[in-house]
A = this chain, B = another copy of it.
Amino acid sequence: MTFANRLERLVRERRTVLCVGIDPRIDALPEELRARCSDIDGAAEAIAKFSLEIIDATADLCVCVKPQIAFFEQIGWRGFRVFEEVCAYARGKNVPVIADAKRGDIGSTSEAYADYFLGESGIADALTINPYLGADSLEPFTKAALANGRGVFILVKTSNKGSADIQDRESGGKKIFEHTARMVESLQTDAGELSSVGAVVGATYPEEAIRVREIIPRAWILVPGYGAQGGSAQDAYKSARADGLGIVVNSSRGIINAYGKSPYKEKFGTDWKSAIRAAAEDAARDLELRVKN
């Protein structure tokens, strides 16, 4: 089954477009885990425990998870080992894993990255990739993905303010992010109503999201910027097709750090696992599959 088909089936089954972001920042870990981080092996254990508990608490509520590799890499190779463990654990529970690593390099180097993440025994189901180096830098990723039932999400319009610096520049009557969207389209060599070659568009830019969907009607779009970063569910759905399909919407801090925030803090106290589950239930409901409006 293709990655695009797997996502579609999960969204239809679960009636939500929630992607749970796994960002194990040490300074935001629950107290009982943070206390273990005095040395690097303890930190690796704490990050592993936190990430696996997130998966346990949310696997039946979401359609995919998105571990952010930076927070694993931050503690070095031990963190990388945990990253691999987390990916394998989620995949073992049939939860597709989008590795958020934003890779991109010239051809033969991209091949090495693609092999690791998206190859025959690659560790993830999909990978975020950066288009600055151009289409020939992305092809090794899309080829590996399509050959192995995996997917990619190419950065088109990111959720941060600085995304304007390059992505919003006009060139020949179109903005750079529109040109990037066309590049995504040129790489969608797979068949089907929805493609496994997708895009990233922030919920913080709903107008741009509408434009991107016009350019790449077949794309799965990964939408960051929902929740803590300010985008609403309605904003996020601007990236969807009319029938609501074609998006997965990421929430990281709003779910995984819910134990420190109202109303979960008051309700669950130090029971951070229940807080995470409750916040994921709320997010899944807020992001219920719906016809676009």
- Cβ contacts under 8 Å, A74 to chain B: 112-113, 115-116
Given the complex, which residues of B lie within 8 Å of A116, measured CB to CB? 70, 73-76
Contacts of A132 in B (CB 8 A): 130-132, 155, 158, 166-167
**Which residues of A118-151 have CB atoms within 8 Å of chain B's CB atoms?**
123, 130-137
Residue A183, interface by CB 8 Å: yes
A123 neighbours in B (Cβ, 8 Å): 76
Name which residue of chain B comes closest to A107, CB basis.
B160
How many copies of the shown chain assemble into the complex? 2
CB of A246 closer than 8 Å to a CB of B: no
Q: Is the CB of A159 within 8 A of B105?
A: no
In the complex, what residues of B have CB within 8 A of residue A164's CB? 134
Give A41 Cβ to nearest chain B Cβ, in Å.
14
Interface membership of A192, Cβ < 8 A: no
Q: Do B171 and A70 touch across chains, with their CB atoms under 8 A apart?
A: no
Interchain CA distance A68-B104 in the complex, whole Å: 12
CB–CB B133/A155 < 8 A: yes
Cα-based distance from A155 to B180 in the complex (angstroms): 17
Cβ of A265 under 8 Å from chain B: no
Interface string of A71-102 (1 = CB under 8 A from B): 10111111011011000000000000000001
Interface residues on A, range: 35 or more
Name the distance in Å between A84's Cβ and chain B's nearest Cβ: 6
Query: B130, B161, B179, B180: which contacts A104 (Cβ < 8 A)?
Result: B130
Distance (Å) between the CB of A132 and the closest chain B CB? Answer: 4
Q: Chain B residues with Cβ under 8 A from A77's Cβ?
A: 77-78, 80-81, 83-84
Is A49 among interface residues, defined by CB-CB distance under 8 A? Answer: no
Query: Which B residues are in CB contact (< 8 Å) with A23?
Result: 109
Residue-wise, chain A 183-199 has the 8 Å CB interface mask toward B (1 for contact) of 10000000000000000
Contact between B165 and A135, CB atoms less than 8 A apart? yes
**A70: which B residues are within 8 A, CB to CB?**
103, 105, 109-110, 112-113, 116
Minimum Cβ distance to chain B for residue A125 (Å): 17
Known: A77-B84, A132-B131, A158-B106. A112 touches B166 (CB 8 A): no
Chain B: CB-nearest residue to A115? B74
Query: Are B112 and A134 touching (Cβ within 8 A)?
Result: no
Chain A contacts to B: CB under 8 angstroms: 23, 25, 68, 70-71, 73-78, 80-81, 83-84, 102-110, 112-113, 115-116, 123, 130-137, 155, 158-167, 169-172, 176, 179-180, 183, 224
Known: A77-B81, A102-B103, A106-B159. 5 other contacts (CB 8 A): A68-B105, A71-B112, A75-B116, A102-B130, A166-B180
**Complex A-B, nearest 5 residue pairs according to Cβ-Cβ distance, in ascending order:** A134-B162, A136-B162, A134-B165, A77-B81, A77-B80
